[in-house]
Amino acid sequence: MQVVDPERVARELGLRKGEYERILSVLGRAPTLTEVAMFSVEWSEHCGYLHSKQWLEFLPREGRFEVLVGEDAGGIVYDGLAIVFKMESHNHPSQIEPKQGAATGIGGIIRDILGSGARPIACLDSLHFGPLDDPRSCYVAKGVVEGIAWYGNCVGVPTVAGEVWFYPAFRGNCLVNVMCIGIAPRGRLARAVAKGVGNAIMYVGNKTGRDGIGGCSILASQEFGENEEKRPSVQIGDPFAEKCLIEATLEALATGYIVGIKDMGAAGLTCSSSEMAAAGESGIDINLDHVPVREEGMEAWEIMMSESQERMLLCVLKEHEEEVRNIFKKWGLEAEVIGRVTDTGRVTIRYRGEVVADIPAKELVRPPVYVPPRERPTYLDRINDLSLDNVPLPEDLESAFRQLLSSPNLASKRWIFEQYDHMVQTNTVILPGKGTVVLRVKGKHWGIAVTTDCNPFYCFLDPYRGAQIAVAEAARNLASCGAQPAGVTDCLNFGNPEKPDRYWQFTEAVLGLSDACRFFGIPVVSGNVSFYNESPFGAVYPTPTIGMVGIVEEIDKVVGGHFVKEGSIIVLFGETKEEIGGSEYLRVVHGIEAGPPPSLDLSFEKRLQEFLISCVRDRLFLSACDVSEGGIAITLAEAALSGDKIFGVDVDFASCGDLREDVLLFGESCGRVLVSLEEEKLQVLMDRAKHWGIPCVVLGKVQGEHIVLRKGKKTLVRLPVSQAFEIWEGAIARYV
């Protein structure tokens, strides 16, 4: 059906004048309303990567293991198994409707993994909110956590790891980055393709409604304005239907009758049909009269744009449709043949006896590419001009230590992760809060270590170095438990790319990420770009979140991050430098938000990773954890407080150099790891560290009922461990 003014509709759906003119050229005529809708979602920033695609080519794709890069997710191959993983954002929906926004983010990322043919085994999340003393930010944080817990717990995929940050920069636009990991035999992986003339296009899962219409073009590809009501663009999730969809899909894939499969996520049926056709060098002819709908009177454009959840599109070998349909019907799901594969190369959509869209598939999935101006932000010189002479040394370092223990960015996240079922599927070996999480692979002697990392304030101070620090810290976390870093997925969260300073932040972060991963030999196998993360409060901090997966060759040798034995020796690897820029100490204790962020030596980081892996392999450590935000003092506290039993510590920093006491305690120098070990293994460890060229200092012992931090004869902190635990555990809970 021809619309009266398709150009006006195109503008309302976010298409630019030049884009509309290109549509006219592609079609050779004015578009229908359905065609305008389809182009608007497929050419949106969220689906089309208009401003980022060319920069993503810089990311490395090769590593020490076989690399898989698919349509929706990627991974690596180890011991004949594909380990598939991806990270996505659901930022804007979660700011508007926190519970459903976060829940459907979990559902969507699980289906991305399922679409590769892998069984989802674990989820992670990286969350960024405004300060908890802001009522709206607290409401958003509670709703997001509730949504993740509700959906993940019901669907039976454990949420095992992640990170949480609280900064004013995220007050009007939270970040909800979700990651999923799945495994499958190498030969059982699926592709998002439609090919084979006459093969069936099958719709499976839940029915289609009006929820989520325009979510990718209206919601995820624009800034938030004041008083905007976009709640209808948020999808509604059903985790029980998703659980059935997982089992039915895996059962259907096992038949061998599935040629291709794709999640109907962002852009819904438009994205899945057009991208499968283009990937298969084919066409698709679809009749929307056969699409299961749950609302009467839906128009063709609504059906094509809907982002209703728990739906997949399949390409099924002809004459095997009934076998596949019966599998999904058995699980209580919709399963209908809605079209066929053609050799036209076009996506043809029919509804109520009319052709409502007829578009060349490859043109629909080939959005315009923009390279807007880049300009280094003017704030950088000012905010990175920090002199230690202008930072007074606190008279009471114990008071500063207490303040940091109670900072939501450093305090225990138990209130959050205890809401998540992290033991379902019984694969979690090292649990949340106890170090880098490690997952067992049933029937194997090896395991998978997982982590997410990114300090957004470091990236605000220096996007290039901040992104590199995120990669280095993620790799250090994996190596600390004994895992070999193997692959990265990313979620790149930035402001409006049409603003030169925001676009500069993005490009610098991508280059930093690329250079660090290439140096370490870690491939970037998948990811996501989320632009337009802005509100009337301003842009979010640039946040290139890293999700990293590692291989633990012998799972019975992994170590956690918390102390486990009274009397064990505490050792620090790495060098504490005279630097304090970007630290949580500066922000919390002095109210100073300035840099530069810590310096970074990639060569040393790589050597440290290899050294740590060798030590874990030879069972030299009782525990190991990286030193990062909050410095050595907070790392010691976390190691003492996060286990099943809390321990006291008695350490002396006299051998750590002639540094200011606050720098010594709270500086966030990179390339440091804190370990505990039995005394009889100390000399072997010291000799090995010397051989590898790793600075190594004995700090003290795990002992007593206090956290005692000394420098020679001077006691800097002496706090009963019971009080420290109360402060650290209660910091977030008192707000929520």
What angle do helix axes 631-641 and 397-405 make, rounded to 10 degrees? 60
**Active site annotation includes 562:** no
Which residues, in sequence order, are CB contacts of 736 under 8 Å at separation 6+? Answer: 132, 138, 141, 142, 415
Tell me which of 46, 128, 562, 706 is the catalytic residue: 46
Order of all β-strands in the sheet with 543-552: 428-430, 437-440, 447-453, 543-552, 484-493, 524-530
Which residues, in sequence order, are CB contacts of 353 under 8 Å at separation 6+? Answer: none
3-state secondary structure 196-259: CCCCEEEEEECCECCCCCCHHHHHCCCCCCCCCCCHHHCCCCCHHHHHHHHHHHHHHHHCCCEE
Cβ atoms of residues 551 and 446 within 8 Å: yes
Cβ atoms of residues 702 and 676 within 8 Å: yes
What is the Cα–Cα distance from 212 to 516, expressed in whole angstroms?
A: 37
Kind of pairing between the strands at 74-78 and 81-89:
antiparallel
3-state helix, strand, coil in the chain (%, to 5): 40, 25, 35
Q: Which amino acid is at 712?
A: G
Give the C-alpha distances (Å, rounded to integers) separating 408 from 138, 173, 245, 590, 735: 12, 18, 37, 16, 10
Q: Is the preceding omega at residue 596 within 30 degrees of 0, hence cis?
A: yes
Nearest to 192 by CA among 368, 369, 365, 367: 365
Nearest to 547 by CA among 181, 90, 107: 181
Provide the 10 A C-beta neighbour count for residue 145: 25
Cβ atoms of residues 630 and 410 within 8 Å: yes
**Active site annotation includes 46:** yes
What is the Cα–Cα distance from 191 to 115, expressed in whole angstroms?
A: 7
Which residues, in sequence order, are CB contacts of 644 under 8 Å at separation 6+? Answer: none
DSSP per-residue letters across 160-192 = EEEEEEE-GGGSSS-EEEEEEEEEEEGGG----
Tell me which of 51, 90, 422, 706 is the catalytic residue: 90
In eight-state DSSP terms, residue 61 is -
What is the Cα–Cα distance from 459 to 542, expressed in whole angstroms?
A: 6
Provide the 10 A C-beta neighbour count for residue 27: 17
DSSP per-residue letters across 101-132 = HHHHHHHHHHHHHHTTTPEEEEEEEEEEES-T
Q: Which residues are catalytic?
A: 46, 90
